[in-house]
A and B are shown apart, each in its own frame.
Chain A
Amino acid sequence: MTPDTASVTPDVLLAPLDPAYLADENPARTGLRWSAFLSADALPRAAALLLEAGWHLEDICGLDVREGLMAVYHFDRMTSPGRLAIRVLADRETPVLPSIADIYQGAEWHERETADFYGIAFTGNPNSMPLLLPEGMQGHPLLKDAAARAPLAALLAAQGREDTVLRKAEGFTLLEPAEDAKPAKPAKAKAAATEEGADNA
């Protein structure tokens, strides 16, 4: 990590990778300082650039949305803090993403956990054994029923969100609220679940 890379902000760092979306965020609202949408191919290169610039990987979260299976990578930097969220969308039928475990060795476990919970296959991950769930278990617990899945815009493009969009690719529609941004059906499915939960509380 050279002194000049240490202070480079993600918008400059990730610009060569042509992210589909890159925004400054308001940490007071979301806890994120920057967010980006990358394609799966650009992910390893982004990880390499980030490691060189002194970023560390906080976690990898899976997210089951209508558009597909999303993996959200949270990065942060110890020398000049500010959280970066990189979002990568994988196809639902064959969810495959490249592994960054050769760059960030800590990602091995995060990826295995996401694979357990969502079934996303990370090509290049050195260890294919399930991390937390039992061997031989069928199914992935955190996948949502089709009726309960929300579009990404319903989760991220909420009211009061104060993004400053730095770049946005043509045809990027993931954060545009759809007509049925708050569908009635998922609320019913959830209400059934919480009635049970409320009974047990």
Chain B
Amino acid sequence: MHSTETLRSHGPACPAASADGGCADDQIAGDGYTCHFEQGARPESLILNMGPQHPSTHGVLRVLLELDGEYIVRAEPVLGYLHRMHEKMAEVKTPAQFMPNMGRVDYLHALAWNWAYVGAVEKLAGIEIPERAEYLRVITCELNRISSHLLWWGAYLLDLGAFTPIMYAFDDREMLLDLLQLMTGSRLTYSSFRFGGVYTDASPAFVQGVRQFVPHLRSRLPMYTALVTENIILRRRIEEVGVIPQDMVARYGASGPVARGSGIAYDVRRAEPYSVYDRFDYEIPLRHEECSMARYMVRMAEIEQSLRIIEQAVESLPDGEHMHPKAPKPSFKLPAGESYFAVEGARGKIGVWIASDGGKTPYRVKLRAPGFSNLALFAECARGTLLADAVAILGSLDMVIPEIDR
């Protein structure tokens, strides 16, 4: 990936770094990041590299740790292992060509990213959406949120050493994935939103399936609570671990369950209302303990709230078109201007900012990933904790690395 431009090189300010990356100091085995990290290390600490291949870092994340025994003195996440430069792709592809990218940014809540991009384009171009399409967007996005939270739950417990809940979660997810396949054609990386509506209308099978799924999942949640959430070992592992006070949330721009677990009642669906969310009766779960357990409980409660929204949306699903008759053709040009559209994703506030100069492709697209801001606070949060706690904190932040790296 070496461009012929020679503006400025990315030389780190590490005295021992060599020009093409890596470390010139023979004593330090490792690349430039290790070298840079070790510059500030105490002589008696152990420098440990967690990742990029690691069962618990939820993707290709590398965390450099300076350990004093089992205590973390300093932590530094190193990103970029999954960087695909989506923002550049957005500048060379037309909006319709770029849509599939949004499913790959955060594959677990792909529909929220779909929505953020589609919303930004529709806001900029003034495209209208039929009411039925709004409801379908809400239903599928909330179903996606549930599947994302279920996978988070299973994976989090796997990190903590319980091997069984992930199997139960995937059992439930299978039903969800089947339903979403009816609506989107995919099982994971959905790109079914279109400018002006959604890709396909809801079939009676889909509506029936959703009607059966909601009470089924509702009946499973008490079992999860009794078996897992109230387990004393789990509670000892995540209560009072990873305290994120409110000022840390503000300084890092964290959002989603990370903010709501620290007592900040901020949800984009209420703060910057979009679509038809204001027609439904649902709560925003809020906890004040600021620890990993609080974030865990917020997400579990969000599953229940999503079920409520889906129930109401399916009951009041209006008739109509799934695509606006005046929706633009895929080859349409964006008018000049900028627009910022924010959506509440499973991980927090997803933002897409588009600036266009009227050409075929956008001039600039900025993808604001919630995980990026959430992970940034890990270094400060994990200081002084045990290595096992670091794993618990990382899991409670619910990160998907492709979203962070883009």
Inter-chain contacts of B366 with A (CB < 8 A):
59, 61
Q: Does B325 make an interface contact (CB < 8 A)?
A: no
Which of B76, B97, B357, B405 is within 8 Å of A154, CB to CB? B357
- With A130-B10, A131-B80, A140-B7 given, is the CB distance from A155 to B88 under 8 Å? no
**Chain A residue at minimal CB-CB distance from B268:** A81
In the complex, the answer to whether A106 meets B355 with C-beta atoms within 8 Å is: no
Contact B340 A155 (CB under 8 A): no
Shortest C-beta distance, B67 to chain A (Å), equals: 20
> Would A74 and B251 be within 8 Å (CB), given that A138-B3, A143-B5 are in contact?
no
Taking a contact as CB atoms under 8 Å apart, the answer to whether A58 and B5 are in contact is no
Residue of A nearest to B355 (CB): A155
Question: Is B264 interfacial (CB-CB < 8 Å)?
Answer: yes
Tell whether, in the assembled complex, residue B359 and residue A190 are in contact, meaning their CB atoms are under 8 Å apart: yes
Q: Let me know if B253 and A58 touch, CB within 8 A.
A: yes
Q: Count residues of B near A (Cβ-Cβ below 8 Å).
A: 78
Which residues between 98 and 152 of chain A lie within 8 Å of chain B, taking CB atoms? 103-106, 108-110, 116-117, 119, 121, 127-143, 150
How far is it, in angstroms, between the C-alpha of A30 and the C-alpha of B272 when the chains are bound?
A: 13
A190 touches B360 (CB 8 A): yes
Is the Cβ of A63 less than 8 Å from the Cβ of B272? no
How many Å lie between the Cα of A83 and that of B366 in the bound state? 15
Q: Does A12 contact B (CB under 8 A)?
A: no
B33 interface residue (CB < 8 Å to A): yes
Residues of the B chain whose Cβ atoms lie less than 8 Å from the Cβ of A142: 87-88, 91, 364
B93 at interface (Cβ–Cβ under 8 A)?
A: yes
User: What residues of chain B lie closer than 8 Å to A121, measured between beta carbons?
Assistant: 8
Q: Is the CB of B337 within 8 A of A155?
A: yes
Asked whether B9 is an interface residue with its Cβ less than 8 Å from the other chain, the reply is yes
Contact B87 A56 (CB under 8 A): no
What A residues does B259 contact at CB under 8 A? 78
Cβ contact of B7, chosen from A29, A63, A139, A194, cutoff 8 A: A139
Of the stretches B13-21, B290-298, B309-317, the one at the interface is B13-21
- Establish whether residues A133 and B97, one from each chain, have CB atoms under 8 Å apart when the complex forms: no
Q: List residues of chain A with CB within 8 A of the CB of B339.
A: 29-31
> Which of B8, B36, B254, B338 counts the most chain A CB atoms within 10 A?
B338
A81 to B337, CA, bound (A): 22
Contact B252 A32 (CB under 8 A): no
The reply to whether the CB of A186 lies closer than 8 angstroms to some CB of chain B is yes
Bound CA span A103–B252, Å: 10
Q: Which among B5, B250, B405 is the interface contact of A140 at CB below 8 angstroms?
A: B5
Which A residues, 167 to 196, have Cβ-Cβ distances below 8 Å to chain B? Answer: 182, 186-187, 190-191, 193-194
Q: Give the residue name and chain of the B residue nearest to A106 (CB).
A: B252
Q: Which of A14-22, A36-44, A156-164 contacts B (4 or more CB under 8 A)?
A: A156-164
Q: Could you say which of B2, B336, B376 contacts A182, with CB atoms under 8 Å apart?
A: B336
Chain B residues, Cβ within 8 Å of A155: 336-338, 355-357, 363-364
Assembled-state Cα–Cα distance A83/B272 (Å)? 10
Binary contact readout B356-372 vs A (1 if CB under 8 angstroms, 0 otherwise) = 11111101101010001
Q: Are A105 and B376 in contact (CB under 8 A)?
A: yes
**B52-81 Cβ-contact flags toward A at 8 Å (1 or 0):** 000000000000000000000000100110
- Are B94 and A197 in touch, CB under 8 angstroms? yes
Question: Which residues of chain A are near B380, meaning CB under 8 Å?
Answer: 105
Known contacts: A78-B259, A155-B337, A158-B336. The answer to whether A186 contacts B271 by CB under 8 A is no
User: Quick check: B357 and A119 within 8 Å, CB to CB?
Assistant: no
Which chain B residues in 152-177 approach chain A with CB under 8 Å?
Answer: none
Q: Which residues of B contact A78 (CB under 8 A)?
A: 250, 259, 264, 266, 271
Does B340 lie within 8 Å of A30, measured CB to CB?
Answer: yes
Q: Which residues of A contact B335 (CB under 8 A)?
A: 158-159
Q: Complex: how many Å from CA A186 to CA B360?
A: 10
Contact indicator A81/B271 (Cβ below 8 Å): yes
Q: Please name all residues of chain A whose beta carbon is closer than 8 Å to the beta carbon of B146 when the two chains form the complex.
A: none
Partner of B364, one of A27, A57, A61: A61
Query: Which residue from chain A places its CB closest to the CB of B272 in the assembled complex?
Result: A81
Residue contact B341 to A31, C-beta cutoff 8 Å: yes
A132 touching B80 in the complex, CB below 8 Å, given contacts A30-B340, A83-B340, A156-B355: yes
Contacts of A161 in B (CB 8 A): 337
CB distance from B75 to the nearest CB of A (A): 13
Residue A51 lies at the interface, judged by CB distance under 8 Å to chain B: yes
User: A154 touching B358 by the CB < 8 A rule?
Assistant: yes
Question: Please, how many angstroms separate the alpha-carbon atoms of A193 and B92 in the complex?
Answer: 6
Contact between chains at B10 and A116 (CB < 8 Å): yes
Q: Which residue of chain B has its CB nearest to the CB of A61?
A: B366
Given the complex, which residues of B lie within 8 Å of A58, measured CB to CB? 253, 349, 351, 368, 373
Given known contacts A31-B123, A128-B13, A155-B355, A109 and B253 CB-to-CB distance under 8 angstroms: no
Is B282 among interface residues, defined by CB-CB distance under 8 A? no
CB nearest to A200 among chain B residues: B97
Q: Is B222 an interface residue (CB 8 A)?
A: no
B277 CB-CB contact with A under 8 Å: no
Asked if B47 is at the interface (CB within 8 A of a chain A CB), the reply is no
A11 to B91, CA, bound (A): 33
The 7 A-B residue pairs with the shortest CB-CB distance, nearest first, are: A31-B340, A158-B337, A139-B3, A135-B21, A106-B252, A136-B21, A139-B5
Q: 9 other contacts beyond A132-B83, A139-B4, A186-B359, with CB at 8 A cut-off?
A: A30-B123, A30-B337, A59-B368, A63-B364, A109-B372, A117-B87, A130-B12, A156-B355, A194-B93
